[in-house]
Structure 1
Amino acid sequence: MLRLALKTLRFRKGGFLASLIALFVGAVVVQGCGSLLETGIRADVKAERLAGAPVVVTGSQDYPGTAVGTATDGMTERVLLDEDLVDAVAAVPGVAEAVPDVSMPVTALAGRPAEASGHSWSSASLSPYELVAGAEPAASGDVVVDSATARKTGVRPGARLKASVRGVPHVFRVSGIAESRRSARAVLLFSDEEAFRLYDRPGKIDDIGVLVAPGTDPVRLADAVGDAVAGRGARVLHGDDRGVAEFPATIAGRQNLIPVAGAFGGLATMVAIFVVGSTVGMLVQQRRREMALLRTTGVTPGQLRRMVMAETAVAAVLAAGLSLVPGLAFGHFLYDVLVDQDLVPGEMVFRQGFVPRLAGFGATLFAALAAAFIASRRVSKVRPTEAMAEASLQTRWVSPVRLILAFLFLGGATALAIVTGTVMTGPVAASTSAPAAMLWAVGIALVAPALCRWLAALLRWPVGWFTGLSGQLAMLNASVRRVRLAAAVIPIMLATGLATALIYLQTSQDDAASRMFAEGLKADAIVSTRGAALPPSLVDTLARLPQVAGASASVSGDARLETLLDSGGGDGGSKTGPRVRPARIDLQGVTAAGARQTIARTAVQGDYGKLTGDSIVLPTDVLRDSGRKVGDRVRLRWGNGDVSSMTVVGSFTPPRGFGYAMVPAAELLPRTTSGTLSQILVKAKPGVSARELTAALRERADGVPGAVVANRSEAKAAHAQGDETGRVASFLLAAVVVGYAVIALVNSLIVATAERRGEFALQRLIGSTRRQVLWMMSVEALVTAVIGIVLGTGVAAGSLLPFGLALDGTLLPSGPGWIYVTIVAAAVALTFVTILLPTILALRAKPVEAAVAP
Structure 2
Amino acid sequence: MSIVWSSARAAARVHRASIAGSFAVVVLASALLTATGAWVEAGIRRSQGAVEPGAGELLALATSFAGTTVLIALFLVASTFGQSLRQRRRQFALLRTIGATPGQVRSMVVAEVLLVTAVAVPVGAVPGLLAAPRLTDLVVSSGIVPAGFELGFSLAAPVATVLLLVPAALAAGLLASRQVADGAASAVRQAGVEAPGLGRTRRIVAGVLLISGLVVAGVPFVVAGTLASALGSTSALLLLAAVAVAGSRLVHTVASRTLSLVGGRAGAAPTLALLNARGFSRRLTTAVVPLALLVALGGVQTGFAMTATQAAGEQLRDGLSADLVIEQSGPEDSAAVARTPGVDAVATMTRVPVDVKTDDDEGTPGFLAWESSSVLALSGDTELVDPVVREGSLDDLTGAATIAVSRDALIGGLKGVGDTVDLRMAGDEVRATIVAVYDRGLGFGDFIVAPAAIEGLAASPVTVLSVDGAGSDVTAALERQGLVATSVDDHVQGATEAGADGQRLSDVLLLVLLAFSGLVAANTLVMLTAGRAAEFRLLRRTGATRSQLLAMIATESMVVALTAIVIGVACVLPSLVGAAYGLLGTVVPAVNWPISLGLIGAVLLVSLLPIASGRRLTAGAAV
Q: TM-score, normalised by structure 2?
A: 0.86
Q: Name 2:385's counterpart in structure 1.
A: 599
- What SS class does the counterpart of residue 550 from structure 1 fall into? strand
Query: Separation in 1 of the partners of 2:532 and 2:480?
Result: 76
Kindly report which structure 2 residues correspond to 1:404-803, keeping only aligned pairs within 5 A, or say none.
405-407=205-207, 409-410=209-210, 412-414=212-214, 416-419=216-219, 421-423=221-223, 425-427=225-227, 429-430=229-230, 432-433=231-232, 435-460=234-259, 467-529=266-328, 534-556=329-351, 587-592=375-380, 594-596=381-383, 598-599=384-385, 639-640=424-425, 641-643=429-431, 654=440, 662-664=448-450, 666-670=451-455, 674-689=457-472, 692-701=473-482, 709-803=485-579
Q: Name 2:68's counterpart in structure 1.
A: 267
Cα RMSD (Å) of the superposition?
3.7
- What SS class does the counterpart of residue 43 from structure 1 fall into? helix
Is it true that 1:294 corresponds to 2:87 in the alignment? no
For these two proteins, the number of residue pairs brought into alignment is 605
Flag structure 1 segments of 5+ consecutive residues without an equivalent. 45-60, 62-236, 245-249, 566-570, 574-581, 703-707, 849-854
Query: Separation in 2 of the partners of 1:715 and 1:316?
Result: 53
CA shift, 1:438, in A, is 2.7
Q: Evaluate the alpha carbon distance shift between residue 279 and residue 779 of structure 1 in structure 2; reply closer, same or farther with a 3 A threshold.
A: same
Is it true that 1:284 corresponds to 2:85 in the alignment? yes
Q: Name 2:135's counterpart in structure 1.
A: 334
CA shift, 1:619, in A, is 7.8
Aligned letter for 2:198? V
- What SS class does the counterpart of residue 267 from structure 1 fall into? helix
- What SS class does the counterpart of residue 350 from structure 1 fall into? coil
Query: Separation in 2 of the partners of 1:408 and 1:355?
Result: 35
Query: Separation in 1 of the partners of 2:430 and 2:416?
Result: 24
Aligned letter for 2:144? L
Kindly report which structure 2 residues correspond to 1:257-406, keeping only aligned pairs within 5 A, or say none.
257-378=58-179, 380-395=180-195, 398-403=198-203, 405-406=205-206
Which structure shows the higher strand fraction? Answer: 1
Check the 8 A contact 2:8/2:108 in 1, yes or no: yes
Alignment deviations for residues 186-238 of structure 1 (CA, whole Å, 9 cap, x no partner): xxxxxxxxxxxxxxxxxxxxxxxxxxxxxxxxxxxxxxxxxxxxxxxxxxx6x
Q: Evaluate the alpha carbon distance shift between residue 13 and residue 620 of structure 1 in structure 2; reply closer, same or farther with a 3 A threshold.
A: closer
Query: Separation in 2 of the partners of 1:390 and 1:12?
Result: 20
- What SS class does the counterpart of residue 523 from structure 1 fall into? coil
Q: TM-score, normalised by structure 1?
A: 0.64
Query: Separation in 2 of the partners of 1:636 and 1:383?
Result: 64
Check the 8 A contact 2:213/2:236 in 1, yes or no: yes
Q: Evaluate the alpha carbon distance shift between residue 791 and residue 658 of structure 1 in structure 2; reply closer, same or farther with a 3 A threshold.
A: farther
Q: After superposing the two structures, state which structure 1 stretch, 438-447 or 518-527, moved more.
A: 518-527
CA shift, 1:600, in A, is 5.5
Alignment deviations for residues 584-610 of structure 1 (CA, whole Å, 9 cap, x no partner): 997532222x333x3366889999789
Q: Evaluate the alpha carbon distance shift between residue 282 and residue 626 of structure 1 in structure 2; reply closer, same or farther with a 3 A threshold.
A: closer
- What SS class does the counterpart of residue 10 from structure 1 fall into? helix
Alignment deviations for residues 51-78 of structure 1 (CA, whole Å, 9 cap, x no partner): xxxxxxxxxx9xxxxxxxxxxxxxxxxx
CA shift, 1:687, in A, is 2.2
- What SS class does the counterpart of residue 351 from structure 2 fall into? strand
Query: Separation in 2 of the partners of 1:635 and 1:438?
Result: 36
Q: Evaluate the alpha carbon distance shift between residue 746 and residue 607 of structure 1 in structure 2; reply closer, same or farther with a 3 A threshold.
A: closer
- What SS class does the counterpart of residue 291 from structure 2 fall into? helix
Is it true that 1:838 corresponds to 2:589 in the alignment? no
1:825 to 562, 587, 601: 601
CA shift, 1:558, in A, is 8.0
Q: Name 2:35's counterpart in structure 1.
A: 32
Q: Evaluate the alpha carbon distance shift between residue 360 and residue 655 of structure 1 in structure 2; reply closer, same or farther with a 3 A threshold.
A: closer
Check the 8 A contact 2:316/2:444 in 1, yes or no: no
Alignment deviations for residues 384-407 of structure 1 (CA, whole Å, 9 cap, x no partner): 344333312122563455445435
Q: Name 2:20's counterpart in structure 1.
A: 17
Check the 8 A contact 1:467/1:779 in 2, yes or no: no
Query: Separation in 1 of the partners of 2:342 and 2:532?
Result: 78
Query: Separation in 2 of the partners of 1:392 and 1:448?
Result: 20
Query: Separation in 1 of the partners of 2:498 and 2:141?
Result: 14
- What SS class does the counterpart of residue 268 from structure 1 fall into? helix
Kindly report which structure 2 residues correspond to 1:107-118, keeping only aligned pairs within 5 A, or say none.
none
Q: Evaluate the alpha carbon distance shift between residue 635 and residue 38 of structure 1 in structure 2; reply closer, same or farther with a 3 A threshold.
A: closer
Check the 8 A contact 2:344/2:466 in 1, yes or no: yes
CA shift, 1:680, in A, is 1.7
- What SS class does the counterpart of residue 447 from structure 1 fall into? helix
Query: Separation in 2 of the partners of 1:338 and 1:767?
Result: 60
Q: Evaluate the alpha carbon distance shift between residue 309 and residue 608 of structure 1 in structure 2; reply closer, same or farther with a 3 A threshold.
A: closer
Aligned letter for 1:670? E
Query: Separation in 2 of the partners of 1:293 and 1:651?
Result: 70
CA shift, 1:460, in A, is 3.9
- What SS class does the counterpart of residue 302 from structure 1 fall into? helix
Q: Name 1:847's counterpart in structure 2.
A: 622
Q: Evaluate the alpha carbon distance shift between residue 263 and residue 465 of structure 1 in structure 2; reply closer, same or farther with a 3 A threshold.
A: farther
CA shift, 1:428, in A, is 6.2
CA shift, 1:770, in A, is 2.2
Alignment deviations for residues 441-473 of structure 1 (CA, whole Å, 9 cap, x no partner): 223201111111233345446677884332123
Aligned letter for 2:382? A
Q: Evaluate the alpha carbon distance shift between residue 23 and residue 656 of structure 1 in structure 2; reply closer, same or farther with a 3 A threshold.
A: closer
What percent identity do the matched residue pairs reach?
25
CA shift, 1:527, in A, is 2.3
Check the 8 A contact 1:506/1:730 in 2, yes or no: no
CA shift, 1:383, in A, is 3.0
CA shift, 1:440, in A, is 2.6
CA shift, 1:327, in A, is 1.2
CA shift, 1:352, in A, is 4.4
- What SS class does the counterpart of residue 151 from structure 2 fall into? coil
Q: Evaluate the alpha carbon distance shift between residue 4 and residue 262 of structure 1 in structure 2; reply closer, same or farther with a 3 A threshold.
A: same
Aligned letter for 1:595? T
Aligned letter for 1:835? P
Aligned letter for 1:590? L
